[in-house]
Structure 1
Amino acid sequence: MSTTEELTTAVTRLVSARVTGFDRTVDIIEAGFRRGDAETRLHAQCPFRVTRGDKILLGSEDLRFPATRDADAVTAFRDRTTMFERKARRLSERFEAVEYRVESAELGPAGRFSLRLGDDVTIEVLPACAGPVEQWRLFDRGTDRHFVYPDSATH
């Protein structure tokens, strides 16, 4: 289990980390952060988005829609050809080229957190489930160190 203090520390540890890209496992949104040789992963099972100013660049709801209008949504999800994959790939390529870094990080009420990057880009995670169900986790790849919200979630 993770206390509020541990979650705050885990989120603020992302400051200065380079964002390495976005992907998904089934319906879990993934984001990668690298500092030196260490990689931290975010798994979000709640609403997630990347914005630039007033524009949404990538959102968890993009999983619901096929990349092309003529495709079936269920098939697109299964085949990983949703709007999410298309946008995540483009955004990951852009982030790789520009090397976006986390400039500030804030854990807010009820597990919400936001990461501010350069160029007016923000990554936001917004838990939206009242039950004791895992909404997000941060973990250091290759270790047993996991920080889970909410702390009552069963792992």
Structure 2
Amino acid sequence: MHLLMNGKSLTFLHLIVLPLLLANVGCQKEISAENGLLPGGGGGGPVDSSAVFSLVPSGANCSDAVVDGSYVAGQAVGMDEELIVTVNVTKTGEWNYSTSLANGFAFAGFGSFTQTGIHLISLMAVGTPVSAGITRFNLNIDGATCFIRVQVQQ
């Protein structure tokens, strides 16, 4: 397995992904149940990628997903907040994935797969959690769907 992000690319990722995510916030009204992306419920999907990969879920849960960092209502997420999830790569190439915005924050990442098989991808958190409690993110990659829960502290 390969972790596709390293300490040097995290700063660059935040600088690239945060403006893109914030630019899309104005489009939230266009999200609908018809395309499977419900406001506040997660969703997202690969964007403009040449790689083909899918989730490796266990039922409705992303059983191996690891949410790292501390999420506090009213505090912008930092470089330590991320989601690591296992994917099965069937075609190598560039990848780009983001969740939908939920409770003021989302997860996003990009990279390149050079080998097929099982890999770990790292999605960095961007934004500011609005309220304390459990925030649910749906991950939908290549037809496989699962969800994760992120505890946001007061």
Is TM-score (shorter-chain normalized) higher than 0.5?
A: no
Give the TM-score normalised by structure 1.
0.29
Give the TM-score normalised by structure 2.
0.29
The structure with the greater share of residues assigned to helix is: 1
